[in-house]
Amino acid sequence: MEISRRDFVKLFGGGTAGAAFLGVMDWDSLIEAALYDIPLRKKVGELTTICPYCAVGCGQIVATENGKVINIEGDPDHPINRGSLCSKGSAAYQIANNERRLNKIWYRAPYSQDWEEKSWDWAIPYIARKIKETRDNNWTEYQGTKLVNRTDAVAQLGGAPLDNEECYLLSKMARALGVVYLEHCARI
Ligand code: SF4
């Protein structure tokens, strides 16, 4: 059902009929519709997630309909943010629905001016091979007489949506590769 602000005002003026209608609708949806002239919220699928931007890690509720994200808002049950979001977290909907978002892999070969579309099956082994080559070609075994076994040519940057277990595994992998420039977006 859709309702405009004009409809809402009429509804309030509708006496008994309006009161009966309000009895089956939720107040948030009605007030939102009245203020912003938008359709009333429908029953949709909801999932909880963590804001991808910074290390505060605010909880969000993602509403979906027919496989498409239709709303993202703060999770009032989340112990960190209790439903509030900063301006970046409030705009997270635009990450999911943005015509400028890249959703395919584009690759430009060295010295080429053209971009090619690639698959994940191609990209993941390619990236792994590049990391290995870069590491091996820039390996420092000794600094003076001290054994260091490291590479200064690779850096790893963590992301806020990673949980403890993912951070643990990724930092283990980076250290096993000899990476010493190991950072997190929250410290930059
Ligand atoms: S960017 Fe904002 S909403 Fe997202 S986790 Fe950080 S403080 Fe929370």
Q: Using pLDDT thresholds of 50, 70 and 90, give the confidence band for residue 19.
A: very low
Q: Which range is most confident: 2-11, 14-23, 163-172?
A: 163-172
* C-alpha to C-alpha distances, 83 to 19, 54, 74, 180, nearest whole angstrom: 29, 16, 4, 37
Residues 148 and 176 in one domain: yes
Q: Are residues 25 and 51 in the same domain?
A: no
- Full residue range of the structural domain in which residue 17 is found: 1-41
Residues 19 and 63 placed together within one structural domain of the fold = no
Domain end (from 52, 76, 101): 101
Question: Cα separation of 32 and 37, whole Å?
Answer: 8
Instruction: Give strand ranges (E) for 75-178.
Output: 105-107, 116-118, 139-143, 146-158
Which of 56, 75, 78, 163 should be mutated for ligand 1, with most atoms under 8 A from CB?
Answer: 56
* b (16+ CB within 10 A) / e for 39-60: ebbeeeeeeeebbbbeeebbbb
Nearest-10 Cα torsion for 116, 121, 123, 129: -140
pLDDT digits (tens, 9 = 90+) for 166-177: 889 999 999 999
Rounded to an integer, what is the distance from CA 130 to the centroid of its chain? 26
Segment 68-127, tens digit of pLDDT: 899 999 999 999 999 999 999 999 999 889 999 888 999 999 999 999 999 999 999 999
Sheet harboring 139-143: ordered strands across? Answer: 139-143, 146-158, 179-184
- In this structure, the answer to whether residues 84 and 47 fall within a common structural domain is yes
The answer to whether residue 34 scores a pLDDT higher than 70 is no
| C-alpha of residue 58 to centroid of ligand 1, in Å | 5
Fill in the amino acid letter for 175. Answer: R
Do 80 and 37 have their domain in common?
no
pTM: 0.60
60 lines ligand 1 (CB under 6 A): no
Among 48, 50, 58, 184, the mutation site with the greatest number of ligand 1 atoms within 8 A of its Cβ is 58
146 and 130 together in one domain: no
Q: Are 49 and 83 in the same domain?
A: yes
**pLDDT digits 0-9 by tens, 111-134:** 999 999 999 999 999 999 999 999
Query: What CATH number does the domain containing 46 carry?
Result: 2.20.25.90
Domain count, the chain: 4
* Domain co-membership, 71 together with 89: yes
